[in-house]
Structure 1
Amino acid sequence: MIVIAFIDSRNGVAFNHRRQSQDREALQKIIGMTAGSVLWVNAYTAQLFAGYDAPQVQEDEHFLDKAGPGEFCLVEGADILPFSFFIEEIILFNWNRAYPADRHFPIDIHNGKWRCVSQEDFTGSSHEKITMEVYGR
């Protein structure tokens, strides 16, 4: 599985059980990169794609159990640690600012097991700079 997450500059992903932020340009990038594949999400995350043409979005509360090799999962605070063995790649969209957070991305991408294979800065609809980082094993 390929994990996609939104993080702030301190690896925060949520505050008070809500996403910290959202961005239309980041969603468009995700829709483009997952076209022709499957993008697994839970009901909360599925709301982000309302109004978009994204037939690859598959909603299931047990989406991490359902994701197969090469399939994408957009995780917003989901407990991915039990699935870490199955994670092939991690794609992080970094807001490049610090938000209040009480949930953080649980995988340490700087532990020597992951390497950054690409990085791209782009201008979002809500953030002047968003950094997309792709990590592989």
Structure 2
Amino acid sequence: MSIQSTVARGDLRAYEESVRLATPELVERLRDLLGAKLVAYLGSVGETRAVRQWADAHDGRTPSTEVVNRLRMAYRIAALLREKDSAAVVQAWFQGMNPRLDDVAPARLLREAELDEVGPQILAAARAFAAGG
């Protein structure tokens, strides 16, 4: 089995999970993969307390639709990368300057740019990284 087909299967699985998860479970899994501080950064909030509240299904607090969409994309990417690497590597990938993204950190693009524009670029960079290139 080729590396490309393995990555494609992992990408499909990550996509399906990202759209099926309820927001609290999505936030909880993303927090487990990336840590509360990075999820708070991606969600444009200043405190990890908001992330805890989003993950608590009984709290009733949810992020905006725009933030949920960004978190879904972040989860899809993190889950894809986690199939090949440790959580520490995934966190470093999100935070590091990425040469495939004009030396901008994927987390920064996810937070600051239009998701429709940068989402496919970040996903392509993640696929390339997962494939070992």
TM-based fold match above 0.5 = no
Higher strand share: 1
TM score, norm. by length of structure 2: 0.29
Larger RCO (CA under 8 A, 6+ residues apart) = 1
Higher helix share: 2
TM score, norm. by length of structure 1: 0.29
